[in-house]
Amino acid sequence: MKHVKVILACLLVPALASAAPDSERLASLERRLQRLEDANQIEVVQRTYGYFVDKAMWREVSDLFAEDGTYEIGGRGVFVGRRRVLEYLQTGLAPERPVEGRLYNHMTLQPIVHVDPDGLRAHVRARAWVMSSAGWGDAMYENELVKEGGFWKFSKVRGPFHMYSPMEGWAKTSVPNTRPDSFLPPPDRPPTVVYLAYPSVYIVPFDYPNPVTGRPWSP
């Protein structure tokens, strides 16, 4: 019996040794698959945000935010909390739901998603191309999301407008950047950055490094 135990041990040790890397690779693949699924769901949230904005579905937009999420569009300052996000949308932008003669198309393009290793927080950079009754607009989102209860929600939405130009005077005339005192309601915090829109130039900082060199963004 003693010899049998020795033989079994000799057979099992290499098998267990080879199984360990396989289990590690499997766990690594599972993590990578989960991060891919996270990135997909984050894109869905970001794109859905644009569809909701299209039709002034303000309550649905605010539902995409975490309870303490922040919202900053253009140079209007920062609104803190889901309730304040809804107040900003309903009071500062337009009445709830579409109305005849108002165009508000808000296309979300070129999303780039990065999920933190712990799978609980993420960043997404995306372009917003806006076609409205006022003209054409171009904004760059640098958003942060948090995973709560298995769902991704915005913890921070920041969308500086590069330009807003009337359709008749495309790239010849432009609307100045918005300011905290240019409309109601007043923000909870001042703008993160004070900048000028087109024809001036402002590069929204990248949340990720150069994908080839690995060097972080440097203004």
Q: What is the pLDDT of residues 68-84, one digit of tens each?
A: 999 999 999 999 999 99
User: What's the pLDDT tens digit per position in 152-189?
Assistant: 999 999 999 999 888 787 778 888 888 998 878 999 99
Answer yes or no: is 55 within a domain.
Answer: yes
Answer yes or no: is 9 within a domain.
Answer: no
Q: Evaluate if residue 5 carries a pLDDT over 80.
A: no
Answer yes or no: is 193 within a domain.
Answer: no
Q: CB under 8 Å to 215, separation ≥6 — which residues?
A: 209
Q: CB under 8 Å to 146, separation ≥6 — which residues?
A: 66, 120, 121, 122, 152, 153, 155
User: What's the pLDDT tens digit per position in 27-67?
Assistant: 888 888 999 999 999 999 999 999 999 999 999 999 999 99
Answer yes or no: is 217 within a domain.
Answer: no
Cα–Cα distance for residue pair 113/78, rounded to 1 Å: 23
CA distances from 197 to 23, 140, 183, 218 (A): 53, 12, 18, 20
Percentage of the chain exceeding pLDDT 70: 91
Answer yes or no: is 215 within a domain.
Answer: no
User: What's the pLDDT tens digit per position in 80-98?
Assistant: 999 999 999 999 888 899 8
Domain total of the chain: 1
Answer yes or no: is 154 within a domain.
Answer: yes
User: H or E element: which one contains 11?
Assistant: helix 2-54
Answer yes or no: is 118 within a domain.
Answer: yes
- The answer to whether the beta carbons of residues 111 and 152 sit under 8 Å apart is no
Centre a 10 Å sphere on the Cβ of residue 134 and count the other Cβ atoms it contains. Answer: 14
Domain that residue 64 falls in? 22-182
- Cα 80 off chain centre by: 16
Answer yes or no: is 99 within a domain.
Answer: yes
* Domain CATH code at residue 97: 3.10.450.50
